[in-house]
A and B are shown apart, each in its own frame.
Chain A
Amino acid sequence: MGNKQTIFTAQQLDAYQDCTYFTRKEILRLFDRYRDLAPQLVPLDYTNHPDVKLPYELIGSMPELKDNPFRQRIAEVFSEDGEGNMTLDDFLDMFSVLSEMAPRDLKASYAFKIYDFNNDDFICKSDLEKTLNRLTRNELTEDEVRMVCEKVIDEADLDNDGRLSLEDFQHMIVRAPDFLSTFHIRI
């Protein structure tokens, strides 16, 4: 366990460990991954909190994300500016939530944000349509999409307001048998 690293101070590392589900080694590895995306942009010294942001184009090109139909949403949800440009903090946050250790509730709340395309705190039909079209690469016909959307709302909408609130979503997702195993990215 090398103490040679000079990227972070010990306090920073401790703080990151408190705030994420990562260990020291993983944080350093994540930093390396982050830096590898743009070595010319990211400094090797983070002790004085440099203000560096990587654009979405770089984040979205990571092998972990590049095949994910929701990559743009993920980047948008986790970035501070909401446009997918990520600081190191956002980056760590993203993979912390998507890590195996993160509890179901945390994952569920972020999953909700990801599927809520128009950021109105509800998953409405248009969000569902977008989700479906991304999931199936537009291979379902319009009728099918509409029917699935109606079914989803019908199943999960407990308060009958025609859209899914966070509570509806959580209620549904905690019962899903493979939400935890699929909503995670190993880094």
Chain B
Amino acid sequence: MPRDSLITSENDIDIGLEFAGDEDEVSSFQEEHERERHRAKRRDGDREKKKRRKGRRRRASRAGEREDELQARHEKREAGRRKRAKNYQESEGRERDEEEQAQIKTGKTAKTKKNIKNEKTRKVEQEEGEAEERNAKGKKKHGSAKKEEKDEDGGKCAAKEKTQEVKKKKHKRVVETSSEQETSEEDVNEEEDSEEKELRPESLSPEELEKLKEAVDERKKLIQGLRGKPWSMKKKLVTLRESQEFVEKYEGALGKGKGRKLYAYKVMMAKKWMKFQRDFENFKTACIPWEMKIKEIESHFGSSVASYFIFLRWMYGINMILFGLTFGLVMVPEALMGRPYGSIPRKTVPRAEEASAMDFAVLWDFGGYAQYSVLFYGYYNNQRAIGWLKFRMPLSYFLVGVGTVAYSYMVVIRTMARNANESGVGDDNSFNFSWKTFTSWDYLIGNPETADNKFASITTSFKEAILEEQESRKDDNIHLTRFLRVLANFLVLCCLAGSGYLIYFVVRRSQKFALDGLDTHTWWERNEVNMVMSLLGMFCPMLFDVISALENYHPRVALQWQLGRIFALFLGNLYTFIIALMDEINLKREEEKIVKFNITTWEASLYNSTVSENSTGPPITIQPADVPRGPCWETMVGQEFVRLIISDTMTTYITLLIGDFLRAVLVRFLNYCWCWDLEAGFPSYSEFDVSGNVLGLIFNQGMIWMGAFYAPCLPALNVLRLHVSMYLQCWAVMCCNVPQERVFKASGSNNFYMAMLLVILFLSTLPAIYTIVTIPPSFDCGPFSGKKRMFDVIQETLESDFPAWFSKVFSSASNPGLVLPFILLMVLAIYYLQSTSKSYKEANVELKKKLQTQNEENKKKNKRAALKAQMDLEEARKAASQTAEQQKNNNASLQDQEADEEENHSSSQRLYHGKNRRNPPAPVREQGLPATRAPVPRNYHHGNHGAPGYLPGFPRQSEPRMHRVPSLQRH
């Protein structure tokens, strides 16, 4: 046996080199013996495959014309290929020998099956190209083509059999010589086909290769874009299968020599990568939560309500990432590797508070143990590196703070850009009716009640549009409306100012309370600030709603005004709150100075007392709880924000429960015993307020961004809040809200909300950055204690953790001489981009205008053409009547007829008459016939009308004009 195996392996090598293209790319570059090992396994598989193919073939032959047609086409192509193959054979004799060897190795049994397989695969390729053709052609035309091809098919089959016979002869010859090899080679030959000589890379000219490569790339592209093709699924599946087979088959043939290995490797990696991508995609979609919930809401309330929930989910995702950042890089390292609780003063509850530190009321206020924990800024130590990892805690804290903001900016802007891309360019009103007709139905609706509302709203919107179209709205009393609008805005301004002052007043008052100590005041006095802010946020929008009734705007405009006002209110409230906080920070810093002074004296006295008592003893240890400490304004800010979030969340939930749920319950059950219909009448059920909810969400997020630096727990809290509100609101909306009566566009305002979010992000990072940059950190709490400014941590890291040259580079890079030009460059770039975008916009407008004018011109032209046609018609009629007269005149006297001819401008007529003066009656009748008949066909059969009246300049407009003619005549 050793000899045999040697032989086979030799042959293997030959084949391996020759037919690598046909084989699996993997095996083409694998070691020979490895392949041998695989072969045994594969053989079994192949046999199965063969069987399957056979079966398929049988089915195919049984099946209808379609398959036949395919086969026919493939056969045609095969014939061409065979010719080509012959050429190659002749030109490269040496190769042929090798080929013969290859053929020789074909197994006896494999023989016929292989051909079958060949046919199959080629057929499949064929269909591919054909598919596109078919697409254009339309299915109807197929019937006739198919029959022809069937005939061809028969002829081709005969030809093919011949070639097979030839092959068999060759085959037999070799079978005798080497029978053992066959079995081992069977599968190899299975894969590659002996007929397909042109497949071998050696036999391909570079151009051919290039072509093949292009074809393969094309197929690949096709596979990728297949899902976007408007074909039926069956066709897509077939196309997919054949393209895949094509690619499989020819891909390997593309590499040459050394490059082949690389190519095959690349192809393999590409495949693996694709598979990975798909799995990853599957995984990703499996991770998206609440899909079913949102779907349910969508089907009940349409896309606008659902858009809120999608927005909520998106927000949840962002907060998850922010939470991951702060939790993973700040809170957990500090909790695990930092000094434990109670080791240093900043990590201990002071003695005075110890008694009440575990009270629920205190914890609820985030005082006591909650205040002295990883949740707040003050707990963190300023130790440069902590734990065995030497984790740079302060640096990490700072970078996470910056990263949070940077990430948020990135995500918001990216989403905005994508939205802008998706939501078309349509803000003009040029397709008003078309859009109303074709895009107003919301396909998501799957609830009869919503559908009813939608039908009604569509009808009214159509009616409104028709009214607007028919006559521009009549203004009953412009002065009155103007006055009312001014009044409304004045009232709103008053509201805003009042709410701002109220907040400022309350915050100042709360500072006084805080100085007195919290215990002496009631619950209301302690939570005044947050409660007032939440209540303002709840009631002012209602007030605005009432006020906006004065203004008499179109509902959509009114909605925008409303949104703008609520935005202003929230923003004003938030900023008053911040300004008040700033005041408080300054107060605390004053306090801090005093405390600092006190501490030095305290330390001195402590030192003196210890010295005086026993100077040689060990330094006495003071309980960290007893050490006096500064007020730590950072923690205070963090606490304020956390409290704000909590109270805000509470108000939201409570309003939800009272305003929606309780109302729904009352309306539902009191309706049985009430004097009017509660459900249809006054209170009725509430609608879901999309804009208000979105705004609430946005402001909530703004507070998170603002406070996250001083309270690392904020993102975690927000994740919790969003999670709960997702479920709560989903439930509330499904159980106690009714679908909106007037459904506004949801997607159009999508970017509007995103823009708001961006504005809020900017406005909320502004104070945070201001405090970080300008106010020195507290001296005895937080990761930056002992530094002049918080960002000094960067410099410190540069100096101590990086090589000297790096800090030198950094410092030289940050000198104004470099920074200023850089900023200048950025400004220039922004300016340049802006101006280009402006010019694009202008070009866009220009093009639009052009299109419009062209459109109008076209219409005008058509009208003119129609007019002309009508004039022609008239003329013809006139001519007809004239000829009738002429006839009469002719009958009467020749002189009269001549005078008529003078009037008639048609030269041909004149000629005609001039020539045929001898026998006038007959030609006149001839001419009269078409002239009188012309109008009849023009009205009804314009298409066949070659037409004397048509101008040579408008040959193409015959069609539109046909439509215009009747309408003009109608008028």
Contact = CB atoms under 8 A, between A and B. Distances in A.
B571 to A, nearest CB: 27
B230 interface: yes
Interface in B442-487: 442-448, 450-451, 455, 458-459, 462-463, 466, 469
A38 to B, nearest CB: 19
Residue among A66, A92, A175, A177 facing the most chain B CB atoms (10 A cut-off): A177
B462 A148 contact: yes
B516 interface: no
B426 interface: yes
Interface in B89-106: none
A4 interface: no
A19 B229 CA distance: 9
A172 B227 contact: no
Contacts of A176: 424, 426, 431, 434-435, 438-439
B298 interface: yes
Contact of B228 (A105, A147, A169, A173): A105
A23 B286 contact: yes
A152 B439 contact: no
Given A80-B232, A89-B232, A92-B233, A182 B442 contact: yes
Contacts of B426: 175-177
Nearest to B967: A162
Contacts of B232: 80, 89-90, 93
Nearest to A135: B458
A126 interface: no
B55 to A, nearest CB: 10
Q: Which of A17, A18, A80 has the most CB of B within 10 A?
A: A18
A106 B442 CA distance: 18
A136 interface: yes
Given A162-B963, A177-B423, A178-B747, A23 B431 contact: no
Interface in B324-341: none
Interface stretch (B235-243, B523-531, B585-593, B795-803): B235-243
Interface stretch (A39-47, A52-60, A109-117): A109-117
B442 A177 contact: no
B462 A144 contact: yes
Nearest to B230: A109
B558 interface: no
Nearest to B422: A180
Interface string B933-970: 00000000000000000000000000110010000000
A65 to B, nearest CB: 8
A125 to B, nearest CB: 11
Interface in A69-94: 69-70, 80, 87, 89-90, 92-93
Nearest to B745: A178
Given A19-B240, A109-B230, A175-B424, A137 B455 contact: yes
Nearest to A168: B434
Contacts of A70: 441
B197 to A, nearest CB: 30
Interface string A131-143: 1100111011000
A140 B459 contact: yes
A170 to B, nearest CB: 11
Interface stretch (B277-285, B537-545, B627-635, B659-667): B277-285
Contact of B441 (A66, A80, A182): A182
Contacts of B441: 68-70, 135, 182
Contacts of B229: 106
B433 A148 contact: yes
A23 B282 contact: yes
A98 B444 CA distance: 10
B427 interface: yes
Contact of B446 (A25, A67, A152, A180): A67
Contact of B451 (A24, A67, A90, A148): A67
B862 interface: yes
A144 B466 contact: yes
A20 B241 contact: no
Interface of B: 223, 226-230, 232-234, 236-237, 240-241, 278, 281-282, 285-286, 291, 294-295, 298-299, 303, 307, 422-428, 430-448, 450-451, 455, 458-459, 462-463, 466, 469, 745-748, 855, 858-859, 862, 959-960, 963
Interface of A: 1, 14-15, 17-21, 23-26, 63-70, 80, 87, 89-90, 92-93, 96-98, 102-103, 105-106, 109-111, 115, 128, 131-132, 135-137, 139-140, 144, 147-148, 151-152, 155-156, 158-162, 169, 172-187
Top-10 shortest CB links A-B: A89-B233, A175-B426, A67-B451, A181-B747, A151-B433, A93-B233, A19-B236, A136-B459, A186-B295, A23-B282
10 contacts: A20-B227, A23-B282, A66-B446, A68-B446, A106-B229, A144-B463, A148-B466, A155-B431, A177-B747, A187-B295
Given A131-B437, A135-B462, 20 more contacts: A19-B233, A20-B227, A23-B285, A26-B285, A87-B233, A102-B227, A135-B437, A135-B459, A136-B455, A136-B458, A139-B455, A140-B459, A161-B960, A162-B963, A172-B435, A177-B423, A177-B435, A177-B748, A179-B438, A186-B294
